[in-house]
Structure 1
Amino acid sequence: MKLLLGLLAAMPLRVSYAAAAVMYLLLYHLFRYRRGTVRDNLSWAFPQKSEAERKQIEKASYRHLCNLFMEILSSTRLPQAEMADRVSFTNPEVLAGVTNNFDKQAIVLLIHQGNWEWILHAAMFKMGISVDPVYKTLHSPLWNQYMLDARSRFGASPMPIDRVGREVIGGRKRKRLIAMLADQAGPKAAGYWRQFLNRPASFYRGADKLAQALDIPVVFAKCRRVETGRYEVLFEEISLPPHPADPQRILELYVLAAEAAIAEQPETYLWTNRRWKKTPPESFFAEQKTATTVTEADSVTREINP
């Protein structure tokens, strides 16, 4: 397997994209890889769109997935400068501003959209600062080590999600950006539950707690594909110290930013992920019922007292 991955990674990008086109035909039409999951996810996320519109997004997302797979493989051998050339940062001054020109840490939240792996290497090259990604250990030891090697290739220090607290606290004086793909499914009991793309979803309580405890600014990085193999990133402030008294507000703002980014370019999001497979705890439904009752009461009050 490692030999095959090495051969695929060694191909020039133009050949990689040709291979990705063949991969799309096999993955989508022949093997029908997770097509049921993708269609279900899209139907929940975009109920206002027609079936034909969702089908168009579905096909385009598989094409992007195959291109992304080849791009991730290529990140193990491409020069850092080439990846940086293919990723433009629209407003790096936002990050520079919240970090005192990169003199202190910031948490950068991303979603599985565009090419998050190239963003890591491009940011380190263009901004001259370490970007340490938080990762969730993969089930396959081979793939887990493969991704760790790729992400640490230019000096980044990936942090496992179950140790991120102590890693960030221990290295709180380091000048670095902490990158979190925060749209991964969080735990059922201890996660932050809210509606995400019209369905209940759990999020890890890491970014919000660390930001509040250590006064770390939080920024969202929105990745948009400009054309095949080229991306642009826009930074948006989520929360700056002093943070809100309720740390969950940080995650709430992140989810709103994520939904807006997905709506803008849905075909570049990772729809094959079984993101909503966990059932919310009863407390979530109780909170939703209470919130609905309060909203209805406010509506009645406005009608009585316009």
Structure 2
Amino acid sequence: MQFLVYIVVYPLLWCISKLPFKLLYLLSDGLFFLLYYIIGYRKTVVTNNLKLVFPNKSESEITTIRKKFYKHLCDMFLEMAKTMSISEKELKKRFLIINPEEFKRLEALNKSIILIFGHYASWEWAIIVQQYINFKGFAVYKKLANKYFDKLVRDIRTKFKTDLISTKETINIITSTEAKGVKSITGFLSDQSPRVSKEVYWGKFMGIDVPCFTGAERLAKKLDFSTAYLKITKIKRGFYQAEIITLAENSREYPDYKLTDLFLTEVEKQIHEAPEYYFWTHKRWKHKDKKPN
């Protein structure tokens, strides 16, 4: 069944990837109408999330943000498909690193780098980062249940020489790479919700207590890596820019969870600036009432 779904969907994705951008965004407009007005995909989740983090906004303001978000969501979904065939030259033009010299400065410290970013703007196109740095590149991801689509995702995300590693492989692969004397840069998407347990760290995100992933911070502190945040901004339709913001050159010097808090603060700043580009369909605040007293 998995293969059947794959062979039906894959040709469609490939055809979409070959569309010129003007046609791609016309298709996105149609997809927006279908997803927002007809299907109503996760509209309740999105609305509840927006009302929760923006309690002072009016109904009309929430509706405006919600519509803009769904338009961006459709753009991003089709841009992901476009990545299957996009060239390095084209992607560099559409996803601009505005301070690549910061990567060079961090490399000069002779420490591996943990690069944290959130589900904001276009995290998928961040795969081009590897072209701006000499360190070995890794990106941490969660394996898909469908093994054929999992391979497709791996193929797409590794086309510019970044190795994809699953969450379960991360510690062993990064540790062994470091033991061999190979410096690396590892990308983590760290703003979603982990399972609640007694050991989980609770931080503030958009003013609300939430459990937080701390794997990136723990790895940086354990191996004494530098830690940086990739601030991705949407400039206009189909064009993004990214800024490398160093959070810590010496991660071990920071108290536990400080780097996680600094990361969440950076994501919050972006959400306040342009909330429509955050990934509101995720149930990020679903555990907000489960924090132990």
Structure-1-length-normalised TM-score = 0.86
- Kindly report which structure 2 residues correspond to 1:110-259, keeping only aligned pairs within 5 A, or say none: 110-121=117-128, 123-172=129-178, 173-189=181-197, 190-241=199-250, 243-244=252-253, 246-259=255-268
Q: Which residue of 1 aligns with 2:6?
A: none
The answer to whether the 8 A contact 1:72-1:117 is kept is: yes
Equivalent residue in structure 2 for 1:15, among 23, 34, 39 = 23
Q: Which amino acid aligns with 1:87?
A: F
If asked which structure has higher relative contact order (CA below 8 Å, sep 6+), I would say: 2
Q: Which residue of 2 aligns with 1:299?
A: none
Q: Which amino acid aligns with 2:122?
A: N
* Stretches (4+) displaced over 4 A: none
CA distance in 2, matches of 1:44, 1:225: 24
For each residue in 1:198-232, what CA deviation from the matched residue of structure 2 results, as whole angstroms up to 9, or x when unmatched? 33322222111111111101101111100111111
Equivalent residue in structure 2 for 1:98, among 106, 130, 142 = 106
Q: Which residue of 2 aligns with 1:264?
A: 273
Offset of 1:53 from its aligned partner? 1.3
Q: Which residue of 2 aligns with 1:50?
A: 58
Which SS does the other structure have where 1:73 is aligned? Answer: helix
Which SS does the other structure have where 1:225 is aligned? Answer: strand
CA distance in 1, matches of 2:271, 2:37: 25
For each residue in 1:166-216, what CA deviation from the matched residue of structure 2 results, as whole angstroms up to 9, or x when unmatched? 111111132332111111222211432222123332222211111111110
For each residue in 1:242-294, what CA deviation from the matched residue of structure 2 results, as whole angstroms up to 9, or x when unmatched? 5335321111111111111111121111111122223665xx442xxxxxxxx
Q: Which amino acid aligns with 1:27?
A: L
Q: Which residue of 2 aligns with 1:304?
A: none
In the alignment, structure 2 segments of 5+ residues that lack a partner are 1-8
Which SS does the other structure have where 1:171 is aligned? Answer: helix
CA distance in 2, matches of 1:150, 1:191: 32
Q: Which structure has the greater CA radius of gyration?
A: 1
1:67 matched to 2:75? The reply is yes
Count matched residues: 282
CA distance in 2, matches of 1:104, 1:239: 11
In the alignment, structure 1 segments of 5+ residues that lack a partner are 287-306
Q: Which residue of 1 aligns with 2:4?
A: none
